[in-house]
Copies of this chain bind each other. A is one copy, B any other.
């Protein structure tokens, strides 16, 4: 039974001010219950609880944190029918996606549980003393990673589970030893409440300190600003628009104590197609490209928003024809919310007003809340010289940019801003070294002969990239390396064994991998 109330540590919100309701994007109808804004006092208390919880929580062992994370996953699993019932109403996404994304969410929690239970992630380094070293003795020094502090997490509209309340940022922050204060997204408060219940219960069932988790409902900007500017908060995780991310970055940088913001913002994920790839099999390529573009109504941060394709040559025309035809056959579908749907309509309208842009496909639809695929085409010269053509169109729209020769292709590659992904389609005999040098400078993940959608949650995933695709290209939001965004290293000098964290004690009771005097132990 949903109540629309916040989760403040082990309690629930007691405010009465209605802040809104979820809206069914398929018909514009309000969904009950109304959400109740957390009061100022509740927000403050959640922040203070997070701060005090941090002192104890960061010292929890990897095994204890693993039990907590796995209990969250188990509690979500027990609620999966509720999620599958409520999610489609709030998000327009199908039930199967709700179940699949729940699976990914649980998988992420269990992946981080495994990581911290195993324990080697702390990068333990031990350098032993040498009293005889000249001219001065060498001290005993040992370092390891530790949690940064309480983290503010903003839910994403396009991943209501995997990048929301118990999503990647929450999982990695909790794994790192950081309490989390989540700011709910106004589009899917029901899912937020279901999942927050799973976390709150897990925290109590596993004896975690109160305040290790809170969830705040309310006017997103007011509550969000309170969280970002709170002295208790030491880092922010966010997935959303460039405008939203930049606003958080500016707020965080202007604090008396600036804090890191990990905002995943916008990307057009260029796909560079070599002539050889079209010559080899333009049909299969067009089929796969269309599938990547239209999957999930194009509402993925890795959606291929621009293709660099040869203007002429074997297979060029056929690729465009097939790509357009297949894409035109994909029905429009309900987008995540009215704001996203109207932004998509505006973006596809705006691009048609740009000079020298052809519309190859524009399935304008009056169906309520529906976004349908669009394809536009322009030239390399136009793309390079008109910044408006590099704007993200969030949804199933893409821009084909035709190039005349390798020089133009490389100029296109060099012209792009920082991206989450870049892709190259070529044949093994092609020399791709020049474009790889550009693309691995411009993006977090470079892909060969595959498409950018589908982000594996694993140890080698970099789902991040140079600004403006993210606020901080040094970090990833997906995969185990995401734990590092919420950590810092601490050194212990000349410490008695019993006062060292177990990870740094000589006996290595956890049997983790360590660096001992510059060698693997």
Contact = CB atoms under 8 A, between A and B. Distances in A.
Interface in A465-521: 466-468, 471-476, 481, 487-496, 499, 513, 515, 518, 520
A139 interface: yes
Interface in A45-69: 54-55, 58-59
Contacts of A355: none
A253 interface: yes
Contact of A462 (B136, B473, B491, B499): B491
A220 interface: no
Given A148-B473, A454-B136, A459-B515, A447 B253 contact: no
B459 A493 contact: no
A135 B215 CA distance: 33
Nearest to A449: B494
A440 interface: yes
A139 B138 CA distance: 46
B460 A488 contact: no
A141 B460 contact: yes
A456 B141 contact: yes
Interface stretch (A28-36, A87-95, A429-437): A429-437
Contacts of A55: 437, 441
A474 B260 contact: yes
Contacts of A468: 257
B520 A446 contact: no
Interface string A145-169: 0101000000000000000000000
Contacts of A472: 260
Contact of A491 (B139, B444, B513): B444
A444 B145 CA distance: 10
A127 interface: yes
A462 B445 contact: no
A143 interface: yes
Nearest to A436: B499
A146 B296 CA distance: 33
A156 B257 CA distance: 23
A129 to B, nearest CB: 10
B446 A493 contact: yes
A450 interface: yes
Contact of A460 (B143, B428, B464): B143
Contacts of A125: 459-460
Contacts of A250: 253
A165 to B, nearest CB: 25
A476 B456 CA distance: 31
B450 A139 contact: yes
Contacts of A450: 139, 493-494
Contacts of A174: none
A253 B436 CA distance: 29
B253 A428 contact: no
Nearest to A115: B518
A249 B468 CA distance: 18
A126 interface: yes
Given A440-B146, A456-B139, A257 B490 contact: no
Nearest to A261: B258
A209 to B, nearest CB: 13
A461 to B, nearest CB: 6
Given A125-B459, A138-B456, A139-B456, A499 B258 contact: no
Contact of A446 (B138, B437, B491): B491
A474 B148 contact: yes
Contacts of A257: 467-468
B146 A460 contact: no
Contact of A445 (B127, B441, B446, B493): B493
Nearest to A474: B488
A142 interface: yes
B141 A461 contact: yes
Interface of A: 54-55, 58-59, 125-127, 136, 138-139, 141-143, 146, 148, 249-250, 253-254, 257-258, 260, 428, 432-433, 436-437, 440-441, 443-450, 454, 456, 458-462, 464, 466-468, 471-476, 481, 487-496, 499, 513, 515, 518, 520
18 contacts: A55-B437, A141-B456, A142-B460, A148-B473, A253-B258, A432-B499, A436-B499, A440-B490, A440-B492, A444-B488, A444-B489, A448-B493, A460-B491, A462-B489, A462-B490, A464-B489, A466-B488, A474-B489
Given A127-B459, A258-B471, A447-B494, 13 more contacts: A125-B459, A125-B460, A136-B454, A141-B456, A142-B460, A253-B254, A260-B474, A432-B499, A443-B490, A446-B490, A448-B492, A460-B491, A460-B515
Closest 9 pairs (CB-CB, A-B): A253-B253, A125-B460, A143-B460, A462-B491, A445-B491, A447-B493, A474-B488, A141-B460, A257-B467
